[in-house]
Copies of this chain bind each other. A is one copy, B any other.
Amino acid sequence: SPSDREACCGTQSSHRLLAYSDALISIIATVMILPVAHTKVEDNEELRQSVQLLLTTKIAVYLMTFLIVTVAWAAHIRLFQVIVRIDDCLALLNLACMMLITFLPYTFSLMATFPNNILGILLFCGCVMVIGVIQSVIVLYAFSRPFLLNEQIQISENQIFYKRHILKVIMRVPIMCLFASIFSFIFFQLSYVILAIVIFLPYISQFIKWCRSKAIGQVEETPDSMLFYTYLPNEPLSKERVEAFSDGVYAIVATLLILDICEDNVPDPTVVQKQFGGNLIAALQVYGPEYLAYFGSFATVGLLWFVHHSLFLHVTKTTRFMGLLNTFSLAFVGGLPLAYQLTHEFPRDSQNELEAIQISCVIIFFAGIFQLIIWVVALYYEQETLHPYVRYGGREHVFMLAKLALYPCVALGTFFLTCILSRFSAPIFHLMEITVPFAFLVLRVLVRIGLALLRLIFCPNRANLKTI
């Protein structure tokens, strides 16, 4: 019986293992923003110049790390959509895999700091190859105990075909990394090209397929292909795990600022005694902008999470393409700690302060707009991916649009305000951010009034009928 087998073989639901992996990967993906945010920007220097300096290495490292780690995470999802039950051995193999994934950001910073040294490439390729080998072992182990597998594969007659197909897809990346590490000894620039190809491989192969299908005509899919390891944009991506990963990113971003505050903004007792005559309140007033920045930052991240939560509540199926858009949105959310570090670092009413606010607005705008695009893409396949209420014409359709559009609109409005009003300052910006939640509370009322007005303008007869 299955429960007997479960006891003697010690198989377990994989739910918690995946939740833990999601937490680890989301923290690692987001954390490379810290070296960026902690870079001291000199006051006398122009922000633009120093930001350009940052852009060249650290922001690039952050974005690339985020991209690569999410690629590894997507591969992890794909693997554990095939393997749905685990045992102790798989749990330990997965932990080994996680250990190497969390080491990737470091190899990447080495590459960015020493682009001409092959050590970074070798370390990175070494990690990726070992991860690939571990994942292959996981696949071989799971296929040798078929009760660990997805039910669809378990009952399928083509198990060996699936095993080969999955192994082929998994081993493609480590083999290319092997080539990259060999080439690094001969002509290391080529290695970077190979690594870039590795990341964009699924998209490239998808694009080639698309071109071929347009040129030759519709290519029939193999009839046996269930949506595993296809890299089609509508391949399903576990919604639960997309949510868990996003929660991790939002949680770590929301708390990054308070970590800094707890570590740096507790004044030294001797300094308080000497400089402020023992007056703690006066000493803490120096940190005023930091506190305001913290509450503003927490409110913004919390509300972006809230919008994400509202959106995914009505999403019934997540596709690869939606996952990609979600990654872009999260990459910008991860940039928020940098924005807040900048907004409270400059003296009031300086040009730098205005530019820091503008950078914040741009980051918030893109974080919000990608959430909106996820919904638009979901609407495109609304029968499969959306709950009826938020589909076009659904009850919550307009309200959902208003929720998703609020942050892009606020960010855009603030951006133009900073261009017009030169007296606009960071405290005003943070106060604005703290008041946005109230906008969410009255949003439902506002949407109703807006709809009523629209009805009144465009179909006054029906509105009259209703009021009568």
Residues of A within 8 A of B (CB): 7-8, 10, 12, 16-17, 19-20, 23-24, 27-28, 31-32, 34-35, 38, 88-89, 91-92, 95-96, 98-99, 102-103, 105-106, 109-110, 113-114, 117, 119, 243-244, 247-248, 250-252, 254-255, 258-259, 261-263, 265-267, 269, 272, 280-281, 284, 294-295, 298-299, 302-303, 305-306, 309-310, 312-313, 389, 395-396, 437, 440-441, 444
Contacts and interface: CB of A to CB of B under 8 A. Distances in A.
B34 A259 contact: yes
B23 A251 contact: yes
A254 B19 CA distance: 14
A179 B96 CA distance: 52
Contacts of A23: 23, 247-248, 251
Q: Say how many copies of this protein the assembly contains.
A: 2
Contacts of A38: 263
Contact of A7 (B27, B255, B298, B389): B389
A114 B258 CA distance: 19
A20 B265 CA distance: 26
A99 B298 contact: yes
A299 to B, nearest CB: 7
A110 B96 CA distance: 40
A87 to B, nearest CB: 10
Contacts of A258: 28, 31, 102-103, 105-106
A306 B248 contact: no
A267 B263 CA distance: 24
A112 to B, nearest CB: 9
A15 to B, nearest CB: 9
A113 B261 CA distance: 14
Nearest to A112: B266
Given A7-B389, A10-B396, A305-B20, A27 B251 contact: yes
